[in-house]
Chain A
Amino acid sequence: MAEIDGTIEEMLLPYPEMVKKNRKKHLIVKDEAAACCPQIEANTRTIPGIISQRGCAYAGCKGVVVGPIKDMITITHGPVGCGYYTWGTRRNKARADDTTPPEKIYSTLCFTTDMQEPDIVFGGEKKLAKMIDEVVAAFHPRAINICATCPVGLIGDDISAVGKAAQERHGISVIAYNCEGYKGVSQSAGHHIANNKIMENVIGTGSERKPGTYVINILGEYNIGGDGWELERILKEIGYTVNCVLPGDSSYLDIKTLHLADLNLVQCHRSINYIAEMMETKYGIPWLKVNFIGVESTIESLRRMARCFDDDPLEEQTEIVIARETARIFPVMEQYRKICQGKTAFLFGGGSRAHHYRHLLADLGIEVSVAGYEFAHRDDYEGREVIPTIKTDADSKNIPELHVTADPILYRDAHTRLNMSREKFEELSSRVQLGYYEGLYPHLKDGHIMVDDYNNHETEEMIRALKPDIVFTGIKDKYITHKQGVPAKQLHAYDYSGPYAGFNGAIIFARDVANALSTPAWKMVTPPWDNYDNAQGSEDNA
């Protein structure tokens, strides 16, 4: 412990006093002797000038939550860059299905109003309205999203009014998101804005429930590298009907019927917990935090969700699929485990992955000594019980809260949805922890470090001091890590591989990690003449 504290002190040394004071609050060392998680500062402003990895509200709204909806045309209202950088860069895979033919999929296109100086000076509303008209005439989309960028809010373009007018003109839904980049302190603000608008405008407007006994949604699954498809494969084999995966490979039509499921699974808590919570209030649908990253975590998640339906055949089928899948993948995992066993890793994600992937790494015998998030809130670190104690500040106040109430027609008590008595539901609820997330901290071991809003300087220094065998992080850190002589894997884009979720994903991840650790070039870093000269030198000295 003292050693780790020393490492942190040293790392903070170059910081000016104000920065040091601030950053200390974002760094927690796990102390197993302590009764509970010490409070971490999270979801607060990044200090100007610090090379943080954070993005903006627009990135969280358009880039993360609404961009992947495959049959909606998302128009970025702003100068060209914002739309351009979110064009095909997050690997949310999409394909045609029963309700969405290929000609209704717009995922590989980029729509931007490309605002020019006169639009900034005189306003861009007319341009936006005209672009909507042209897009509707040319593409006939089912619905349209409008995402605002920084200047839009500053010049006062009323995108909601433009959207509303267009909606009336064209008879399709046009949803406006005021996700200007300066809102909030990170992508997180954009997640919240997107959650609110989808809740307000889309969920609950459809009426056709998909057939099945166990109808579920997976919320906060982005289908990066096909993760969502692997989960659907497993869940279908067990006998679930996956009503909708939000938003990975989802369609506007699917999202309309989100309220017709019996259970919401929450994969990425940070980005989608708002919808899960609001759906519980409005429709009575319970939610279960799951983790489908890692073999053991997937098994545990499958068992917990089966318990929710209190149905023996379902639990039996769950065990059959688990037994079959593990028999198939364990021998394959084993060969990679031999390479990975005993290694240490750093794990940096957005707001969920630093927790999720530590279990998959544990499956491979890799221990995570430093874990960090870009934009998590205190509940993602400390557990949801801290939510009532989180203080709102000037930045969080700027994100509107959507207050929903029970729907007079569509609300049904959770226990009736799960087909059990109220008493039984309450017993179940505490047993599988419905509507709860414990956060990252309980999963850390003594002396492990938890970092909020992790930044370049600290990552670099911790790599130097703690010498991990591999670092899992984003593209901005990846090559810096390589230059330090340490392998790095992209945790957001999977180095263009995947899926990493579920059983098949575990094998692919294991292979990729083993390859990253063992690629022969790591042994070739030092030129032969360097060793030669050193050897000669030491002989001379002797």
Chain B
Amino acid sequence: MHKEVKTMLECVPEGSVVHTTGKINPAKTCQPIGAMYAALGIHGCLPHSHGSQGCCAYHRMHLSRHFRDPVLASSSCFTEGASVFGGAANLKTSIKNVFAIYNPEIMAVHTTCLSETIGDDLPNIIKTAEIPEGKVVIHVNTPSYQGSHITGFSGMVKAMVSYLAQAEGAEKKNQLNVIPGFVNPGDMREIRRIVGLLGVKMIMFPDTSDVLDSPLTSKYEMYPKGGATIAEIRDSANSSATLALGAWASNDATDLLQEKFGVTGIPLKLPIGLKATDDFIMAVKDWFGIDVPASLATERGQVVDTLIDTHFHYQGKKVAIFGDPDHVIALTEFVITMGMIPKYILTGTPGKQFDIEIQKLLSGAGIEGSKVKAEGDLLELQQWIRAEPVDLILGTTYGKYIARAEDIPLVRVGFPILDRAVHPLMPVVGYRGCLRLIEQISNALLDRRDRDCLDEDYELVL
């Protein structure tokens, strides 16, 4: 029994429409917010937006809504004058004021479409700015008219390497770099826990745990205790390997560490799902020759046990997945492990590799007839769903309109989630993350079954 609710998005035309230009209901946002998020994962860092105030305000608001925690960043406050004559004076004044008033260890500057269109020369401006002794200013170019928030994140992580990483010699230390990708602080904390269980020394950057999931103690610190320190990022050049978790967000910095310092880069998926978590653990095991502890084997076994216990809740169900490419690729792999059928797979971020990666997963599972798209938008996704419905949507908060209009349950995963709380603290990575995803997917489908069934079919035990 399927209820016709149809109380949302009535304006969206029935049938397919010509939509070749621009985005309607985008599934991405602009580069600077990703750069700002990455910068918050450096200890004692104040992100700085080189543009007009609006960009900085929007990014802070959006990150605050997702994390429900303080997000501080400064802006070059462009006015029309700066837009005509260039923003050098604004950035220099900003640097002076920021260190005098807010005293961060490091200022991480990203550009905007405004300063990029003007063509401000950031390296030269920074070189001639007054930077107090012992303090650092780094920068990344993040024109909003390229890539997405994910490439902006990637760019800032790469800037951390290019500005800060320094090799002490040719010899590498017995330590691992992990670039965790654009994931929540809860995920980063979980990655740290898993690597800790494996007994390997790790440098993770950026690291927003203990920054954007900080406790309420009534003793406010502008710079919370978390974040990768400058010293740690510097030392990343001396690690023997880097795990790049998610190609879109983490490959650029990893490649630079390899090119510049000979740190072996190991490209992986985000460790979301059973197989991707296995791959992550095996990569650490292979590189360091360590034994995987029994505790992780137990966690893994619990996931397998749960999958077998609950497969009839979701097996064979069709699912639409949208969001950021690294998330979507890993989630697609996991729903295949769960026996579900990824029917529509869409990301707003551009990149040809997306289709290749997803097709590999689909053909590996023998799944045909799915639609895959990079640089797509949610109007298109809705039109696909209208033409042929699915049982479940996996994606961000922005999927909620489609979920209501088409009466399909939505499991919220990824960035941003603006209408539910606690998620930034709860990992979806690792084996613990598998359990969370299975629980959410299973519950969503069972809640729907309970809601829609006849009285005589309403059962106590499911």
Contacts and interface: CB of A to CB of B under 8 A. Distances in A.
Nearest to B212: A479
Given A59-B58, A139-B13, 13 more contacts: A48-B76, A55-B58, A79-B30, A80-B144, A104-B11, A110-B26, A181-B78, A182-B82, A182-B83, A184-B79, A460-B222, A475-B65, A483-B218
A154 B117 contact: yes
Interface stretch (A14-22, A256-264, A416-424): A14-22
Interface residues of A, number: 87
A398 B80 contact: yes
Interface string B102-131: 100000000011100110000000000000
B145 A151 contact: yes
Contacts of A58: 54
Contacts of B175: none
Interface stretch (B15-23, B238-246, B256-264, B318-326): B15-23
Given A117-B145, A525-B216, A112 B26 contact: yes
B81 A394 contact: yes
B354 to A, nearest CB: 17
B33 interface: yes
Contact of B57 (A54, A109, A127): A54
Contacts of A206: none
Nearest to B87: A48
Nearest to A477: B70
A114 B22 contact: yes
A106 B95 CA distance: 42
Contacts of B20: 130, 134
B218 A55 contact: no
Contact of A480 (B57, B59, B220): B220
Contacts of A151: 113-114, 117, 145
A186 B75 CA distance: 13
Query: 6 smallest A-B Cβ distances: which pairs?
Result: A56-B54, A485-B218, A81-B30, A49-B97, A49-B94, A79-B144
Nearest to A456: B72
Nearest to B214: A483
B57 A53 contact: yes
Contact of A85 (B61, B96, B100): B61
Given A81-B32, A395-B79, A475-B61, A16 B96 contact: yes
Contact of B24 (A45, A48, A110, A478): A110
Interface residues of B, number: 84
A442 interface: no
A79 B77 contact: no
Given A50-B97, A58-B54, A150-B113, A89 B61 contact: yes
B143 interface: yes
A120 B10 contact: no
Given A56-B54, A476-B61, A182 B22 contact: no
Contact of A150 (B75, B95, B114): B114
Given A51-B102, A182-B82, A476-B60, A116 B146 contact: yes
B25 interface: yes
Which of B17, B62, B79, B94 has the most chain A CB within a 10 Å cutoff?
Answer: B79
A101 B13 CA distance: 14
A182 B74 CA distance: 16
A485 B401 CA distance: 36
Given A150-B117, A151-B117, A483 B70 contact: yes
B315 interface: no
6 contacts: A82-B58, A154-B114, A181-B114, A457-B102, A475-B65, A482-B216
B145 A79 contact: yes
Interface string B30-52: 10110000000000000010011
A16 B132 CA distance: 14
A392 to B, nearest CB: 14
A75 B145 contact: no
Nearest to A478: B64
Contacts of A362: none
A182 B52 contact: yes
Contacts of A127: 21-22
Contacts of A54: 53, 57
A340 B25 CA distance: 42
Nearest to B60: A476
B359 interface: no
Interface in B390-412: 398, 401
Contacts of A15: 100-101
